[in-house]
Amino acid sequence: MPTQITDEMPDTWVHTLVTHIEAHGWTIHDAHETAIVINLDHTAHAVLNAGDRPFLVIGWTGDGETEGATHWGLSVDGVTVPHLDGLGGREPSEVADQAHRVLRTGRPEPRQLRHAMPYVALSEACRCPLVHPCGGIVPAPGCAEHGDRRAPAMAWHWEADCHDKAVSR
């Protein structure tokens, strides 16, 4: 059942948030009292594994009694959002920063993951999550090959730089 973000946001808040999001370099597809719809660029599309969903939607959700909390989700049409995640932040500048992080890293938290590119091919013993688009790994502490105890030499990059690494490979 697709979720509609239908709680209304104040006009001035939407307007200010749009200004902040555009200041980060993003293109707004649509913005009104129930949704702010951002066009994914090529990098954001890859980072978010967005498939056939060209839009990231920001909106408020609530039960009608409590104040809405900011959420984000990917959307095919900019209207329905099958899956919502919490965005966080209340001030437009803060919400815009969170959205920018989601679009660049896939998560609103400021903490970035480091990706590792092992110098030797992964064996079947490897239990590390593969990361895209670089094709590297996020080393799992318990991995027999790349875990804390082994700590083999690997080339590292921050996830924000991941797309550049994928391009230069």
Smaller CB distance to Zn ion: residue 15 or 169?
169
Could you tell me the smallest distance in angstroms from the CB atom of residue 168 to Zn ion? 11
C-alpha 52/C-alpha 118 separation (Å) is 31
CA distances from 7 to 10, 61, 63 (A): 10, 6, 9
The answer to whether 3 and 73 are in contact (CB under 8 A) is yes
Binding part of the chain for Zn ion, among 7-15, 48-56, 96-104, 130-138 by CB under 5 A, reads 130-138
Please identify which residue in 5, 116, 128, 163 interacts with Zn ion, judged by CB under 5 A. 128
Could you tell me the smallest distance in angstroms from the CB atom of residue 153 to Zn ion? 14
Smaller CB distance to Zn ion: residue 69 or 117?
117
Radius of gyration, alpha carbons of the chain: 18
Please identify which residue in 20, 92, 126, 163 interacts with Zn ion, judged by CB under 5 A. 126
Could you tell me the smallest distance in angstroms from the CB atom of residue 114 to Zn ion? 9
Which residues 6+ apart lie within 8 Å of 101 measured at CB?
A: 107, 108, 109, 110
Binding part of the chain for Zn ion, among 5-13, 62-70, 77-85, 128-136 by CB under 5 A, reads 128-136
Give the total of residues touching Zn ion (CB under 5 A): 9
**Residue 66's Cα: distance from chain center in Å?**
26
C-alpha 164/C-alpha 130 separation (Å) is 17
Write out the residues near Zn ion by the rule CB under 5 A.
115, 126, 128, 134, 136, 143, 145-146, 162
